[in-house]
């Protein structure tokens, strides 16, 4: 029964049946695929001789394995070329729209679907990728799925799922200068824990999110999964509609007005019932940096690292493991930590507003000698926009490399990798051990503006000194 949240309303609208298991058979409005988690799913369809039921409800792009320097085909990495060819062949065989390299529409899957207007309020969206939660910024129920579920969606356009509980995560007030959406979500994850959201959808509510742009909301929802919540969402409002209007796949003309009225009706009711409510104040949030091996291990840039005794008992073992791996000490300041590589990009922070914020810090300054710094726009469209604004010139004049779109060193499934024990300042979303291409490599997560400041000084720096 609906209790008035957007989550409940959208779930009910998409319920096909209640299965004997008690699970819901949920219709998936939009299915996004990329080269990493789709090949086996297509292979399983082939084995059973099954077609793709609604090919026009799936959209494909290539993002994880694309090199960001030269895009000449065949790709230099034979395995990457093979994965790209497999995706191209599967899309051709099943008549699935494919946004390939050079199409003007390629990019990280969670960047391109919103910018094309494919992601819309009230939809159910699935993708074989954990950061599918990003699309919840539009008031969609969007979540990551595994490869066998990709198969299920291809074959039936539905999934068998357990309904999630809903936690309202309310943040109120304006963010202070130097604090960005990234800091807000890192703060929330620090407060609620990386497993705090397991079994929940997070509804991000309150004036802080109401004031945010769509790109900022995407940054927040992107990392809901890092807090354990399989999906996160913001109720659709005027900001959402203004963003979508006129985008290639957005409704047009009379359909537009109908769609907006419909989307408006889906927002959570004022008296909606939640399974849990937590409230924070934006003024308490400072520029934030992770120091450990989970996105929950973070501090304000002007804080010292926590002593083990100061942490809840359940967090001490992983903190001790993090200190050993990162070679950092409890009680030391995070500010001043030396940085080798600065990476601006990813589905968390590779959009145009992210690049603008970073460029503002970089303009007229130089990257510290010895630091490798590079920018990877989230999509071909973001890259073109940034170049039209001259951001590429600002970055390159400062000593940054300006690359082609893809996931790049967020996950390092392409040639962009840390070496040995290198330590990165990264605008991405995961700081797991070995995440960025070197088994011993270390990652500090922060906002793009903070990465830019680190590139200039060669160490973790409070971006507020640059603004």
For residue 177, the SS3 value is coil
Nearer to ligand IPM, 130 or 268 (CB): 130
Nearer to ligand IPM, 150 or 164 (CB): 150
Burial profile 293-319: b = 16 or more Cβ within 10 angstroms, e = fewer: bbbbbbbbbeeebbeeeebeeebeebb
Q: Does 91 belong to an annotated binding site?
A: no
The entry of ligand SF4, ligand IPM, none near residue 154 (CB within 5 to 8 angstroms by kind) is none
Residues numbered 38 to 77 that lie near ligand SF4 (CB under 6 A) are 63-64
| Contact pattern for ligand SF4 over residues 284 through 303, marking x by CB under 6 A | --------------------
Q: Which residues, in sequence order, are CB contacts of 241 under 8 Å at separation 6+?
A: 260, 263
CB of 461 to ligand IPM, least distance (A): 27
Residues numbered 27 to 66 that lie near ligand IPM (CB under 6 A) are 36-37, 64
Residues numbered 385 to 424 that lie near ligand IPM (CB under 6 A) are 411
CB of 446 to ligand IPM, least distance (A): 17
Spatial separation of the C-alpha atoms in residues 289 and 133, rounded to whole Å? 22
Q: Does 410 belong to an annotated binding site?
A: yes
Contact 359, 395 (CB under 8 A): yes
Nearer to ligand IPM, 38 or 298 (CB): 38
DSSP per residue, 182-245? HHHHHHHHHHH-TTTTTTEEEEEESHHHHHS-HHHHHHHHHTGGGGT-SEEE----HHHHHHHT
For residue 83, the SS3 value is helix
Q: How many residues bind ligand IPM (CB under 6 A)?
A: 8
Interface pick for ligand SF4 out of 189, 300, 411, 460 (rule CB under 6 A)? 411
Spatial separation of the C-alpha atoms in residues 186 and 287, rounded to whole Å? 9
Torsion of CA 455, 457, 459, 463, to 10 degrees: -80
- Taking CB under 6 A as the binding criterion, the range among 48-56, 77-85, 126-134, 456-464 that sits at the site for ligand IPM is 126-134
Neighbours of 12 (CB within 10 A): 12
Spatial separation of the C-alpha atoms in residues 206 and 243, rounded to whole Å? 20
| Contact pattern for ligand SF4 over residues 340 through 369, marking x by CB under 6 A | ------xx----------------------
Q: Which residues bind ligand IPM (CB under 6 A)?
A: 36-37, 64, 129-131, 144, 411
Residue numbers belonging to the annotated binding site for [4Fe-4S] cluster: 347, 407, 410
């Amino acid at each position: 029964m609906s209790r008035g949240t957007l989550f409940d309303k959208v779930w009910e609208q998409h319920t096909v049946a209640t299965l004997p298991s008690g699970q819901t058979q949920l219709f998936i409005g939009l299915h996004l695929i990329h080269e990493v988690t789709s090949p086996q799913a297509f292979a399983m369809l082939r084995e059973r001789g099954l077609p793709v039921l609604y090919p026009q409800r799936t959209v494909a792009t290539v993002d994880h394995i694309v090199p960001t320097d030269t895009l000449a085909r065949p790709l230099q990495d034979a395995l990457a070329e093979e994965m790209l060819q497999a995706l191209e062949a599967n899309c051709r065989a099943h008549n699935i729209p494919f946004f390939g390299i050079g199409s003007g529409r390629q990019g990280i899957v969670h960047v391109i679907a919103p910018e094309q207007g494919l992601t819309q309020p009230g939809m159910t969206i699935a993708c074989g990728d954990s950061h599918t939660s990003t699309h919840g910024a539009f008031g969609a129920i969007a979540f990551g799925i595994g490869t066998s579920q990709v198969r299920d969606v291809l074959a039936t356009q539905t999934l068998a799922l357990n309904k999630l509980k809903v936690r309202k995560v309310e943040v109120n007030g304006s963010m202070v200068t130097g604090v960005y959406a990234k800091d807000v979500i890192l703060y929330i994850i620090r407060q609620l824990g990386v497993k705090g959201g397991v079994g929940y959808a997070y509804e991000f509510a309150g004036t802080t999110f109401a004031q945010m742009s769509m790109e900022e909301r995407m940054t927040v929802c992107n990392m809901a999964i890092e807090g354990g919540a399989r999906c996160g969402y913001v109720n659709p409002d005027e900001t959402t509609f203004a963003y979508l209007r006129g985008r290639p796949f957005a409704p047009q003309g009379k359909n537009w007005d109908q769609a907006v009225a419909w989307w408006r009706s889906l927002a959570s009711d004022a008296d909606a019932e939640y399974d849990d409510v937590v409230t924070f104040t934006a003024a308490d949030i400072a520029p934030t940096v992770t120091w450990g091996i989970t996105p929950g291990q973070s501090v304000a840039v002007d804080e010292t690292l926590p002593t083990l005794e100061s942490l809840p008992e359940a967090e001490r073992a992983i903190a001790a493991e993090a200190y050993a791996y990162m070679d950092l000490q409890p009680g030391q300041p995070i500010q001043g930590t030396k940085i080798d590589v600065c990476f601006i990009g990813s589905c968390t922070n590779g959009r145009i507003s992210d690049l603008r914020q970073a460029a503002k810090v970089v303009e007229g300054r130089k990257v510290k000698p010895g630091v490798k710094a590079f920018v990877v726009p989230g999509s071909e469209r973001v890259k073109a926009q940034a170049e039209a604004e001259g951001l590429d010139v600002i970055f390159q004049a400062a000593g940054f490399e300006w690359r082609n779109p893809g996931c790049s060193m967020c996950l390092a499934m392409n040639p962009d990798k840390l070496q040995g024990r290198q330590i990165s300042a990264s605008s991405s979303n995961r700081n797991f051990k070995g995440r960025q291409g070197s088994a011993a490599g270390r990652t500090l997560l922060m906002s793009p503006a903070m990465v830019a400041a680190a590139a200039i000084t060669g160490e973790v720096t409070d971006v507020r000194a640059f603004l």
